[in-house]
Amino acid sequence: MESMSCDVLVVGGGMVGAAIAAVLGQTGFEVIVLEKHLPAPFDAQSAHDLRVSALSLSSQGVLEAVGAWPRLAAMRICPFRRMRVWDQGGRGETNFDAALLGEPVLGHIVENRLVQQALLDVLRELDTVRVIEGAVPERLEVGAEQAIVHLTDGRRLRARLVVGADGAGSRLRELAGLGMSARDYDMHAFVASVRTAQGQQDITWQRFTPQGPQALLPLGGPHASLVWYDTPATVARLEQLDDEALIDTFERHFPSELGRIEAIERRGHFALRRMHVHDYVAPRVALAGDAAHTIHPLAGQGVNLGFLDAAALAEVIHTARTEGRDIGSMRVLRRYERWRKADNHLMQTGMDVFHHVFRPQNLPLRLVRNLGLTLAERLKPIKALSLRHATGRRPFLPRLAYGLALESLEGRGAPCLE
């Protein structure tokens, strides 16, 4: 049966896996990407996908450095310059503006599939990267010099390092025996791509209600993505409504900022789960993105953390090679884990605090959250600090993946890795 070898095997060619492959492939590593389903090609006439993300400036930096950003921009992206957050029935409100950071935008709303497509297009032009579609890992064998992944179609892939970027249900995580802690939120996200009577918008907004947040993310032109977080039972009821009844329900329950909805283009829902692996790495194995951690999406940070993982992992592997070390050794891989685990944990915990503080209707907590939003609005240094964090700026950003984009992000390079 066929057997192929490479330096790094990336299982999962989603946004995070394809980004890791692009950075490594461009720095001369031989990479194989194993992807279960490649995305359908872009069709400018198609409705916007349901799976969209608010990409931070730092994620944009990674995509720019590998050359995927112009390809994505040539398909569909929507910049946003402002964010508004407020509490229904209270006085607390915070407004963020890109001008506070001296940036032209705070980020872009993008369709996940198109980000993946833009990265895969970059990979197709690299002699160092091969993309295999269809087969998935069945068994993992770890040896002293290499790991062997046995695929469901009988092929074997040999690599010095295997990266699991195969999403929340990661098969590689399971095969490597990496344990995790997980908890379901008692909340689902109902998502609808809609066409509104308003034209192109440059603001994302989020309103907190006792049932859960409601949000609008602008897409190109008069299109927008609406997110309604609520109990699984309520979301199931929303799913039952026909388009006309759903439009009526949105208009009755969403804030007036939404304006009139002219059509529902797509709809669906997602169960929400927090998950974090205990260890990001095992001998010759590293996990990144949703394979390592999932987070409440209310602040739109999931894939942004994943891109930071991708950049950090690529930098650690690259540094190890220049130092003549084994890229699959625990000594090297623990550097990556130390770099990313605490940051991801901090963001997960921050989202949990939001989730819990903004739901209850009891008076003391309501006062606390309104005070919090008011202070965030008035205390400019705190506002700027939280905005910097949300846009992905960290004291230490990996140099390699950000390349030239680093300067504009004001990163200071890798922390002490030992």
Ligand X SMILES: Cc1cc2nc3c(=O)[nH]c(=O)nc-3n(C[C@H](O)[C@H](O)[C@H](O)COP(=O)(O)OP(=O)(O)OC[C@H]3O[C@@H](n4cnc5c(N)ncnc54)[C@H](O)[C@@H]3O)c2cc1C
- Kindly state the smallest distance separating residue 54's Cβ from ligand X, in Å: 4
- Kindly state the smallest distance separating residue 246's Cβ from ligand X, in Å: 17
Q: Given the complex with ligand X, which of 14 and 366 has the nearer CB atom?
A: 14
CA–CA gap between residue 223 and residue 265 (Å, rounded): 9
Stretch that binds ligand X, among 13-21, 275-283, 311-319, 382-390 (CB under 6 A): 13-21
CA–CA gap between residue 371 and residue 365 (Å, rounded): 10
- Indicate whether 392 belongs to the interface with ligand X (CB under 6 A): no
Q: Given the complex with ligand X, which of 321 and 355 has the nearer CB atom?
A: 355
Amino acid sitting at position 115: V
- Figure out which of the listed residues 10, 65, 165, 317 binds ligand X, where binding follows CB under 6 A: 165
Q: Given the complex with ligand X, which of 16 and 75 has the nearer CB atom?
A: 16
Q: Are 351 and 299 in contact (CB under 8 A)?
A: yes
Q: How far apart are the first and last CA of the chain?
A: 41
- Figure out which of the listed residues 6, 7, 8, 17 binds ligand X, where binding follows CB under 6 A: 17
Q: Where are the beta strands (DSSP E) in 284-366?
A: 285-287, 293-294
Beta strand 156-164 pairing with 285-287 = parallel
- Indicate whether 36 belongs to the interface with ligand X (CB under 6 A): yes
Amino acid sitting at position 388: R
Q: Given the complex with ligand X, which of 167 and 411 has the nearer CB atom?
A: 167
- Figure out which of the listed residues 23, 48, 53, 235 binds ligand X, where binding follows CB under 6 A: 53
Q: Given the complex with ligand X, which of 153 and 407 has the nearer CB atom?
A: 153
CA–CA gap between residue 368 and residue 63 (Å, rounded): 39
Q: Given the complex with ligand X, which of 273 and 331 has the nearer CB atom?
A: 273
Convert 4-39 into a string of H (helix), E (strand) and C (coil).
EEEEEEEECCCHHHHHHHHHHHHCCCCEEEEECCCC
Residues 120-139 binding ligand X (CB under 6 A) are 136-137
CA–CA gap between residue 233 and residue 231 (Å, rounded): 5
- Kindly state the smallest distance separating residue 125's Cβ from ligand X, in Å: 20
- Run of H or E residues at 405: helix 405-409
- Figure out which of the listed residues 7, 30, 166, 265 binds ligand X, where binding follows CB under 6 A: 166
Q: Are 11 and 162 in contact (CB under 8 A)?
A: yes
- Indicate whether 49 belongs to the interface with ligand X (CB under 6 A): no
- Kindly state the smallest distance separating residue 381's Cβ from ligand X, in Å: 25
- Indicate whether 337 belongs to the interface with ligand X (CB under 6 A): no
Q: Which residues contact 8 (CB under 8 A, 6 or more apart)?
A: 20, 21, 24, 29, 30, 31, 32, 159, 160, 161, 162, 163, 317, 327
- Indicate whether 218 belongs to the interface with ligand X (CB under 6 A): no
- Kindly state the smallest distance separating residue 214's Cβ from ligand X, in Å: 13
Residues 276-335 binding ligand X (CB under 6 A) are 289-290, 297, 300-304, 306
Size of the site for ligand X (CB under 6 A): 32
- Indicate whether 107 belongs to the interface with ligand X (CB under 6 A): no
Q: Given the complex with ligand X, which of 120 and 366 has the nearer CB atom?
A: 120
- Indicate whether 68 belongs to the interface with ligand X (CB under 6 A): no
- Indicate whether 11 belongs to the interface with ligand X (CB under 6 A): yes
Tokens of 175: 């095969």
CA–CA gap between residue 241 and residue 207 (Å, rounded): 23
Strands of the 82-87 sheet, one edge to the other: 93-97, 82-87, 203-208, 213-218, 223-230, 180-196, 261-277, 293-294
* Contact map string, positions 167 to 206, toward ligand X, x by CB under 6 A: x---x-----------------x-x---------------
Is the CA virtual torsion 153, 154, 157, 162 positive or negative? positive
Q: Are 289 and 62 in contact (CB under 8 A)?
A: no
- Kindly state the smallest distance separating residue 55's Cβ from ligand X, in Å: 7
Q: Given the complex with ligand X, which of 269 and 321 has the nearer CB atom?
A: 269
Closest CA to 256 of 182, 191, 196: 196
- Kindly state the smallest distance separating residue 378's Cβ from ligand X, in Å: 27
- Indicate whether 30 belongs to the interface with ligand X (CB under 6 A): no
Q: Given the complex with ligand X, which of 135 and 365 has the nearer CB atom?
A: 135
Residues in contact with ligand X by the rule CB under 6 A:
11-17, 34-37, 53-54, 112, 136-137, 165-167, 171, 189, 191, 270, 289-290, 297, 300-304, 306
